[in-house]
Amino acid sequence: MAEGKIKKVSIVCSKGSLEGIYPALIMANGARMEGIEASLFFTFFGMDAVTKKKMNKIKVATVGNPAMGIPTWIGAIPGMSAMATRMMLKTMDALDIPPIGEFIEMISDAGCKLFACKATVDMFKLSMDDFCPQVEKVLTVGEFYALSAGAEIIFT
């Protein structure tokens, strides 16, 4: 085995769009698949990924997203985001990339620990009851850093 192998990662998921959340989840799951210790820390709108009411309604941003390749005014037509999301989820499903709820469960079963950010919890007036059961704890930034000792921190 090569020296300097990554042993531990802490991944911060800060965005609440489909294209914002998936990279964090894929990185976390991929870490566990390689035997790397992994934690996921959800903050700001990224927290929607573990909020029961929202986690299965996450959408692709079709407005203000130049990479979509469609003019913003088309992206703003009602239903565009839902349609783009459906198409993307279908493609991902074929590659065995699960929908967010199922993915969170899979990542947790893989041994990755999931945390929510205290500042966001306070700001949005949330409690542990609002989160899916895989969320272990609400952490302060300080606790997050303490827990990430020796880890690579990846911000998405």
Partner 1 sequence: MATMKYAGISVEVDDEGYMTDHSQWSEDIAQAIAAEEGIKLTDDHWQVINILHDQMNTKEQLPTIRSLKKLGVETKRLYELFPGGPVKKASRVAGYLKPASCV
Nearer to partner 1, 33 or 146 (CB): 33
The residues, ordered by sequence, that sit 6+ positions from 56 with a Cβ below 8 Å of its Cβ are 99, 100, 101
156 touches 27 (CB < 8 A) = yes
Q: Is 104 helix (H, G, I), strand (E, B) or coil?
A: helix
Nearer to partner 1, 2 or 149 (CB): 2
Nearer to partner 1, 33 or 74 (CB): 33
What phi and psi, each to the nearest 5 degrees, are found at residue 110?
Answer: -75, -5
Q: Minimum CB separation from partner 1 for residue 20, in Å?
A: 18
Q: Minimum CB separation from partner 1 for residue 26, in Å?
A: 6
Show contacts with partner 1 in window 67-106 (CB under 8 A): 95-98, 102, 106
Q: Minimum CB separation from partner 1 for residue 109, in Å?
A: 4
Nearer to partner 1, 34 or 122 (CB): 34
Nearer to partner 1, 109 or 122 (CB): 109
The answer to the question of residue 132 lying near partner 1 (CB under 8 A) is no
Q: How far apart are the first and last CA of the chain?
A: 28
Of 32-40, 56-64, 68-76, 128-136, which segment contacts partner 1 by CB under 8 A?
32-40
40 touches 156 (CB < 8 A) = no
The beta strand positions in 4-100, using DSSP E, are 8-13, 37-42
Q: Is 83 helix (H, G, I), strand (E, B) or coil?
A: helix
Q: CB atoms < 10 A from the CB of 148, how many?
A: 17
Interface contacts to partner 1, rule CB under 8 A: 26, 29-30, 32-35, 95-98, 102, 106, 109-111
